[in-house]
Amino acid sequence: MTELGGFQDRLARIDLSEGTIDYESIDEEDAQKYIGARGLGVKHVFDQGPDVDPLGPDNLLAFMNGPLSGTQVTMSGRIAVCTKSPLTGTVTDSHHGGWSGARLKWAGFDGLLVEGQADDPVYAYVEDGEVELRDASHLWGDGVHETRDRLEEEVDGSYGKNLSLMAIGPGGENEVKYACIVNEDDRASGRGGTGCVMGSKNLKAIVIKSSTKMPQPADQETFREGHQQAMQAITESEVTAPNEGGLSQYGTNVLMNIGEEMDGLPTKNGRYTSTESMRESEGVDIDAERVSGENVRENILVDEPTCHSCPVACKKEVEVQAMHKGEEMNVRMESYEYESAYSLGPNSGHTDRDAIALMIDRCNDMGVDTIDTGNMMAMAMEMTEEGKLEDEGGLDWGDHETMVDMIERIARREDDLADLLAEGPRRVADRKEAHDNSLAVKGQTIAAYDPRCLKGMGIGYATSNRGACHLRGYTPAAEILGIPEKVDPYEYEGKGELTAQFQDLHAISDSFDICKFNAFAEGIEEYVLQYNGMTGRDVTEDELLQAGERVYNLERYYNNLLGFDGDDDSLPERFLEDGIRGQGASEGEFCELDEMKDEYYDYRGWVDGVVPDEKLDELEIDVGPGTGVSADDSAAPADD
């Protein structure tokens, strides 16, 4: 039981195999050490034991909010979904914005801990501190959008007023390894295959009905001081200031033209570092500007909705009338994001703006991660060119019409090619001897930052605990935006330490759970004041930073127990050699990963990617008797 402010002190443990629901309190010691959301969720997954089948009944799927979720804190509408990933075999957590996290808090819960496997499809209905399992057989096979509409009518609620939804589509039902969980506003817990785990449990959706009852700060004066400082920082930042450009004007896709101009946009499965390089080398009609945030705002933007307690409004809702196979299709969808546009566009060899909108919408409806879906199709295009998919039929570069249909084919595993691509990059590479075609780290593909240009992203992808990820430690904040200070993106020295610091800071914000965009304006001082004010604690900046470090080390130790070590902290070969060159600033560049890893491990106090016992003791990570590992004990993970 905890008396900390910001918590409802209530968890629901849902056993789908037995059809039972038990209620638990928050462990206050764990809450103090791991904060909440991501930190507490990973602790629950760790306590379940790492040696579980990701798609078996013993794997835990934890939906967790944090002590700042659903409060007055700016951008506090997020929720963390933590589990063992079927895509990577590592621990993973994946977050989405909107209103789900806030509504779960207002409905009386800090989290839902789901285990077991239902015999038949069910959905969980959450209201007033209670959870009920209901039949979902009539929803199985439906896309997320149809599921959303049918459940809104069925439970007699209203999205945007008193109702939130978290659901899977056919991708999760058919255990696509990168299936995601999507809420009513098309915000997705996209990475790591959380939707695949949900599908393996026969859990179609979670519906949350609640009033708007925000938790009040335990220390009003401290919270008010921190909140005022945070609001001032956000409104004065060029990146987050409402209606002043940056994220507010163009959303995350503000980075498309920036990435192109600095020669850091992976294009054509990472062969090039900009669309200009591809255009000049191959003479093809491709231009990143066509899919940029500026182009989207000028031509297809229709609305700018926002998440709970967020003045930035980075979501850019669009409407397009696109021709698809001779038929005009009207699509209105939320939102045209940078990472989605990169993977489904330039990295797949085209820049058809409206086709990308169709694809993002289709991914959301089918419940598959836009990044991995786009990158899997880019991988297939390169494999087709090299004759590695002759039996499956293949996919041609830039064929966006086929790509639109391929998304549903993958989600439903409709044919041999779709069934293969649904397994993710590691399994495709193993089965087709195509490791040279994969842009994955630990089985998860990279985001829209080329590590030959942004060296911090190179060490960040490699050392991410959940596979290649730009959000574990967002070094482009410093390399592109100059936050907290500008660093040279092409310089590798110092990037190991910088990356670790960003990773720890983001572990804190993910455990609060607040949007990472806060970090473009706020710092540790604002974090401490708001956290102390809400919970009633009196932690120092150093103590809070150590909590972030503790979360990151617990995740790494979980992976160590599964055999992951420094050999797995690697990158695709094309980023490590200077044979693949850009035509601009990055020409001749490669990622000096080994040098950065040495610096990173030294800063972390790890031995070849393994957390030693001394570090566990230093961070007071209680792993139980007989579970310690050393650098000599770890081994490469087996293909699961």
Segment 452-460 shows an average pLDDT of 96
Beta-bridge partners for 125: 132, 207
Segment 208-229 shows an average pLDDT of 95
38-42, 439-443, 494-498, 627-631: range with lowest mean pLDDT: 627-631
- For the chain, residues classed under CATH 3.60.9.10 are 11-209
What is d(CA 317, CA 335) in angstroms, rounded to the nearest whole number?
5
Pick the CATH number of 267-438 from 1.10.569.10, 3.40.228.10, 3.30.420.10, 3.40.50.720: 1.10.569.10
Mean pLDDT of the chain: 94
pLDDT of 509 strictly over 70:
yes
Query: For position 328, what pLDDT does the model report?
Result: 87
Using pLDDT thresholds of 50, 70 and 90, give the confidence band for residue 628. Answer: very low
Strand 61-64 to strand 20-24: parallel, antiparallel, or no bridges (unpaired)?
unpaired
pTM above 0.75, yes or no: yes
Segment 468-477 shows an average pLDDT of 97
Cβ-Cβ contacts under 8 Å for 93 (sequence gap 6 or more): 38, 41, 42, 80, 81, 82, 83, 192, 466, 510
Q: What sign for the dihedral angle of Cα 77, 359, 470, 434?
A: positive
What is d(CA 442, CA 177) in angstroms, rounded to the nearest whole number?
13
Segment 247-267 shows an average pLDDT of 95
- In percent, the amount of the chain with pLDDT more than 90 equals 92
pLDDT of 636 strictly over 60:
no
Rg of the chain (C-alpha set): 23
Segment 124-137 shows an average pLDDT of 98
pLDDT tens for residues 268-302? 999 999 999 999 999 999 999 999 999 999 999 99
Segment 86-92 shows an average pLDDT of 98
pLDDT of 548 strictly over 60:
yes
Q: Encode burial over 585-614: b for 16+ CB neighbours within 10 A, e otherwise.
A: ebeebbbbbeebbebbbeebebbebbbbee
Query: For position 440, what pLDDT does the model report?
Result: 98
pLDDT of 29 strictly over 80:
yes
What is d(CA 443, CA 593) in angstroms, rounded to the nearest whole number?
18
Length of the chain (residues): 640
221-230, 274-283, 318-327, 360-369: range with lowest mean pLDDT: 318-327
pLDDT tens for residues 574-609? 999 866 665 666 778 899 999 999 999 999 999 999
Query: For position 322, what pLDDT does the model report?
Result: 83
- For the chain, residues classed under CATH 1.10.569.10 are 267-438
Q: Encode burial over 547-579: b for 16+ CB neighbours within 10 A, e otherwise.
A: bbbbbbbbbbbbbbbbbbbbebbbbbebbbeee
In this structure, how many other beta carbons lie within 10 angstroms of the beta carbon of residue 215? Answer: 18
CATH of domain 11-209: 3.60.9.10
Q: Are 452 and 582 in contact (CB under 8 A)?
A: yes
Q: Are 371 and 191 in contact (CB under 8 A)?
A: yes
pLDDT tens for residues 480-490? 999 999 999 99
SS (H, E, C) 411-447: HHCCCHHHHHHCCCHHHHHHHHCCHHHCCEECCEECC
**Position of tokens 């001897």?**
433
Segment 118-144 shows an average pLDDT of 98
Edge-to-edge strands, sheet with 163-167: 130-135, 122-127, 203-209, 163-167, 181-183, 188-189
Name the residue type at position 140.
W
Which H or E element spans position 317?
strand 317-324
What is d(CA 13, CA 115) in angstroms, rounded to the nearest whole number?
8
Using pLDDT thresholds of 50, 70 and 90, give the confidence band for residue 638. Answer: very low
Query: For position 633, what pLDDT does the model report?
Result: 40
pLDDT of 631 strictly over 60:
no
Nearest C-alpha neighbor of 260 from the set 591, 589, 582:
582
Query: For position 326, what pLDDT does the model report?
Result: 84
Segment 222-242 shows an average pLDDT of 95
Using pLDDT thresholds of 50, 70 and 90, give the confidence band for residue 36. Answer: very high
What is d(CA 478, CA 486) in angstroms, rounded to the nearest whole number?
5
Using pLDDT thresholds of 50, 70 and 90, give the confidence band for residue 429. Answer: very high
